[in-house]
Structure 1
Amino acid sequence: MRGILSFIVVLGALFDTGHCCNYTLDPKTGHSYRVLNDQKRTWNDAKLKCQSEEAELASIRTAQEWQFVKDLIVNSGVDLHVHLGGTDVEQEGKWLWTDGSPVSNISWIPGFPLKRSNNCMMANKDVSWNWYDYDCGVSLYALCKKPARTCPPAPTCPPAPTCPPAPTCNNGYVDSNTGHCYKYKMLDDTRRTWNEAKSVCEAWGAELASIRSSQEWQFVKELIRHSGIVDYFYLGGTDVEQKNTWLWTDGSPVSFTDWTTDDGRVRKPDFNCIAAHSSSLLWYDVTCNYQRYAMCKYTYN
């Protein structure tokens, strides 16, 4: 039992990622960074704080890395300069990172570093975050850096369910056969001839309304009933090409109908368009040149 407990403790240590909290990953280098903006520290205290988080006071190796880090500092909102990991405390003028590797001149302020007793490096807020040598005892914010692969990759979420989303038609009519959603626009601003109404609908990317089923007609009847207008409304049916062969504006046959008695049959030769009346809610074949209200229909999805 003691052996099993020891194994669990070791696993917990290996997979403890709490020290990676608040660090931002640079995907290009694999390094992770954190701005210590909770309080100001001296250079040595900041170095110890980074080490306590299994990190280092940040070293900068390339211009690309510096650009990523500078953006991170700016976005952190700090209002003062920031410690970096460079120092020449061992030998004046010989700048090294905390791991002993040399500091390259990536972003020193022109003319710096100066040969003087200022032995630590900071990113200077007042000169576009360029590098500046200063007294190590000054308390500033700081930047910690974790080397690549110290932090494990973020967990991968399982793929989202592939079930299709429930159809949303926003108060429109859903055709049970095609699944398409349709909406309707009543042209009740002014009366128009059938052809004029057809042109207005088409200008909106719609059609003079076709009715394909009793369910759709029931839906449209409710729209007409609630319009409050007592009059005829043009629909998109016509037999102008061949008498008594009724077609919708797209050329498809009128299969569902709700004619009043005898309408839709051979009557007057110039009664070539379909209109519904808001009182009876039945269809009538009427002359196309008379100005009436109309109903447009368009596909919503």
Structure 2
Amino acid sequence: VTLASKLTNPQQPQPRVTCSIPFQPVGDHCIFADYLISGSWEEVREVCVQMKGDLVGFQDANTLADLVQFLKQNDIDTASYWTGANDREAEGLWRWASDQSLVHMNTPLWGDLTTEGQEPMGGKDEDGAAILLEDYYFMHDLNCNESLPLICEKPAEPNTLNTSQEVEQHNRVQDPIQCSERYVDIGGRCLFVNSPSDGTWDEMKAFCELLNGRLAKVDDANLLGAIFDYLLAHDKTEQHIYIGGSDIMEEGKWVWLDGTSITMGTPFWGNEEMEGQEPMGYTIQNCLVLSNGDYFLFHDFGCDNEIGAICEEV
């Protein structure tokens, strides 16, 4: 393991949890990230274990969104980092090191750098997963002997989650919900996937309203993963699909129909042939779609294109 004499000490404003030094609060988690401590997957994991933690896991995919923002805000978004995801015990069966739970495959965690498909692509020679700088911190499988920096995670101090956070965590594992006709439970929301179809964004907005709904608000990374799984399982992958976000009112200010801000960056937004992370369409592409050419990650799109949509019951 390569150790530097000075460790980073990133600061996170308005912490939601209490963490013991040197861990810092990132969302609901306690994180220690240092691009100056590097080694193989096993070596850096041992460092994390000695710190009473483990390599970071994204059992809740929203943790990746929080972490990427944390890296950027603290100017340590300059390297790829090992995560706890691995298939060392059984090829193709990816688990988190910290609790041995299964890793959610495909969108929203895993990226791609080629036209060959979505990661993991390395086969038996690449048994550890890193968040890759070159792919905006989406996950990729790599050879475990590669030397990369670490991100460790440990549980927050007892009794530091507030009531709203506890309710939020409970809701992520809630029982199936009852949905009206046409709508089905996808990731804890009542959604109707109207695809393939052919309407503009405004037309699909009106269509959803006729069904006592609205264009879907996909504000949770786990929900995005559940939608991807549903589209794949039900053979609804042939076209882009409108959802309820736009920057129509103010260029570059992406909001949902209820006016709340859309989370930018990974793991929600995809990229356009490695030219940059979406949104890339500027003033000519003002409506939000799930892109069938990019594993149904977010892309901006022309609002007059006629495609399908996802409605959400309200």
TM-score (norm 2): 0.40
TM-score (norm 1): 0.41
